[in-house]
Amino acid sequence: VPAPGQGEVRTIRVEVERGLPVDGARFAEFVLATLNDDRGWGHDGAMTFARTDGDAPITVVLASPDTSARLCGDQRTHGMLSCRNGPRAVLTFHRWVNATDEYADNVTGYRQYVVNHEVGHALGHGHERCPGPGRPAPVMQQQTLGLKGCAQNPWPHPTDVPSPAP
């Protein structure tokens, strides 16, 4: 799938573990739509994402808990947490289906968050902390481990972020 828009083209590969009850084409469309959303990593036209079935510098993988634990290597995910390991952004199927308690009312938002968060690591971004109670959580905050007083936010560049109080 070619990259829409202008900017540096980032090529990704999308994989779904064989045997998971997921439509691989729909999953791949969701990943690409999330990454190319105006609120995503390429919001300012600096980059855009294309999908390939060949080699790519970033591979987004949806995997069972056992496979995700294996693909995450030394990171202790216990198959419950997603990770980035080398070129792979590994999303665990358990969270893809169930999200977290704090995202129980917004599974789609959680899915957008986890795609943006793990691909954010592949783009070189590290973890961030909650900037304050009620503020949108940075997408690079480990929201799966709790919002820590922040509000849900699946986007690197949300359009409706309130200004901080003076």
pLDDT in tens, 83-137: 899 899 999 999 999 999 999 999 999 999 999 999 999 999 999 999 999 999 9
pLDDT class for 42, splitting at 50, 70, 90? confident
Residue 1's pLDDT is what? 84
Average pLDDT, integer, range 39-48: 87
Please name every residue paired with 136 in a beta bridge, in sequence order, or none if there are none: 151
Residue 57 has pLDDT above 50, yes or no: yes
Q: What 8-state DSSP symbol labels residue 159? A: T
Q: Which residues of 57-95 are buried (b: 16+ CB within 10 A; e: fewer)?
A: ebbbbbbbbebbbebbeeeebebebbbbbeebbbbbbbb
For residue range 8-26, list pLDDT tens digits in order.
999 999 999 999 999 999 9
Lowest mean pLDDT among 64-73, 129-138, 142-151: 64-73
Residue 58 carries which side chain, given as an amino acid letter? I
> According to DSSP H, which parts of 24-160 are helical?
24-35, 65-71, 93-98, 107-122
Helices (H) and strands (E) in the chain, counts: 4, 5
pLDDT score at 21:
97
Q: Say if residue 154's pLDDT is above 80.
A: yes
Which whole number is the average pLDDT over 37-55? 90
DSSP 20-31: SSS-HHHHHHHH
Q: What is the mean pLDDT of residues 61-67?
A: 95
Mean pLDDT of the 24-48 span: 92
Instruction: Give the pLDDT score at 160.
Output: 58
pLDDT of residue 166: 41
Q: 3-class SS at 74?
A: coil
Contact (CB, 8 A) for 156 and 136? no
The answer to whether 159 touches 39, Cβ cutoff 8 Å, is: yes
Rounded Cα distance between 84 and 78, Å, is: 14
